[in-house]
Amino acid sequence: MAKISVFGIGYVGVVSAACLAQDGHEVIAVDVDTGKIKAINEGRSPIVEEGIEELVRQVVKDGNLTATDDFEQAVLNSDVSFICVGTPSSPDGSVGLEYVISVCENIGKALAKKKSYHSVVLRSTIVPGSTEEACIPVLEENSGKVAGEGFGVGYFPEFLRESTAIADNYAPGLIVFGYLDEKTRVILEKINGSLPCDMHQVEIKTAEMVKYTSNTWRAVKVTFANEIGNIAKASGIDGQTVMEILCSDEKIAMSPYFMRPGFAFGGSCLPKDVRALKYLAGSTGTKHHLLSAVLEANEAQIAKAEKMVIDSGETKVGFVGISFKPGTDDLRESPLITLAARLIDKGIDVSIYDPFVQQAFDNATPGAGRGNDDVPDLEQRMVYSLDALLEGSGTVLVGNHYGETVERLKKAAGERPVVDLTRLARDKTSDDRYQGICW
């Protein structure tokens, strides 16, 4: 078993660290956030995710997972470091590398004091060429060593979906990693050896590109499905039926999760990754019609939902869901946050029911409400029950699908205006009171 340090205690870092610890590796989680460090060392998860609280509690109890803010000691006491910090978009759409570079500087300084071989593996989403052109020079400058000789380098992208991250870790649809040196390749091969999936071992740039291609493809599929849904509805056709038939063709391996007409895509990956790939294309003089169209069409879907709410004529709107997808409290680039903020700016009173965001606030989870830069007084707008939301709302906007709310919302659709962005049930189609965004 390996000794592993994981830099960045966010979604990817926490899940990766906990799963590696469960596999028997000795794991040190590293961050500058003292709240997250304290939570892990007390056996608590700093994020809301299915099964993560119990997993963190167990691996901390077993002594396989600890957390610290001491970068140097983490490197000196591990064989390989995984970098899992965020890469937010820069104002021009390019990928933001400031957190990655900062971590590389600190790891490089620690490597200067380390006599044994150590591998540095990037897991953060970075555009092709970033590891070799940005990260390796920083590591070499601060360590005084040569990459591939004095220390190892790899790129091992994650494909974890929030709300199903632990299950995805143990049943991945794709494993790919790039490596600069043989020792790093061997480490990554051993770590992934027991997983039921082929390992694609490639050059670092290829692995970086696979990650962006995967995320951009998901974004393209969401937008494509919405366009078909909008065209189908205008033609008197059920767009979801059209897409379900298309997805039945397994030869083209389409994921029905994304090929489903509905609302805009959001979250911490898809929006910024499409922007970054678009910026990369522009920087090389390559045309990027589709990438531009994806972002324009996604924005149009938010504008369409806004108009549907305004057209309902009500001044009090209750949101069912505010996170970027059900099953998580993550608000980063949630299109529902954007929609709520626009409605509030127009003088509409917005209240929100979201059990996962509410859980994060109730538990005072580090980072509760993270990603919300637009909705004022978010916590005060939250209501604890669906019935309370319905009682205080004119129009109800269904943004996220929660199974336990379906029957109550179907009944409400006969009593008041309902704008549905996710589709409560297949037997619901637009009528006088109920409006589905694509059906």
Which residue, among 420, 412, 369, has the nearest Cα to 387 in the 3D structure?
A: 412
Q: How far apart are CA 242 and CA 229, in angstroms?
A: 8
159 labeled part of a ligand binding site: yes
Query: Can 104 be counted among the known catalytic residues?
Result: no
377 labeled part of a ligand binding site: no
Identify the three-state secondary structure at position 22. helix
325 labeled part of a ligand binding site: yes
87 labeled part of a ligand binding site: yes
Helices (H), 326-414: 335-345, 355-362, 378-381, 386-391, 406-412
Quote the radius of gyration of the chain (alpha carbons, Å): 23
Rounded (5°) CA angle 254-258-260: 100
Catalytic pick from 84, 104, 247, 269?
269
36 labeled part of a ligand binding site: yes
304 labeled part of a ligand binding site: no
User: Do 395 and 312 touch, CB atoms closer than 8 A?
Assistant: yes
User: Do 48 and 328 touch, CB atoms closer than 8 A?
Assistant: yes
The one-character DSSP state at 192 is H
Q: How far apart are CA 180 and CA 117, in angstroms?
A: 14
213 labeled part of a ligand binding site: no
The one-character DSSP state at 135 is I
Query: Hey, what are 306's tokens?
Result: 């806004």
356 labeled part of a ligand binding site: no
Burial string for 216-251 (b: 16+ CB within 10 Å, else e) reads bebbbbbbbbbbbbbebbeeeebbbebbeeebeeee
221 labeled part of a ligand binding site: no
262 labeled part of a ligand binding site: yes
The rounded Cα 7 to chain-centroid distance in angstroms is 17
Q: How far apart are CA 245 and CA 48, in angstroms?
A: 35
403 labeled part of a ligand binding site: no
What Å distances lie between residue 335 and 267, 272, 303, CA to CA? Answer: 8, 13, 10
Q: Detail the residues annotated as belonging to a binding site for NAD(+).
A: 31, 36, 87, 125, 162, 272, 332
Binding residue positions: 31, 36, 87, 125, 159-162, 211, 258-262, 266, 272, 325, 332
What residues act catalytically? 269
**Which residues carry a binding-site annotation for substrate?**
159-162, 211, 258-262, 266, 325
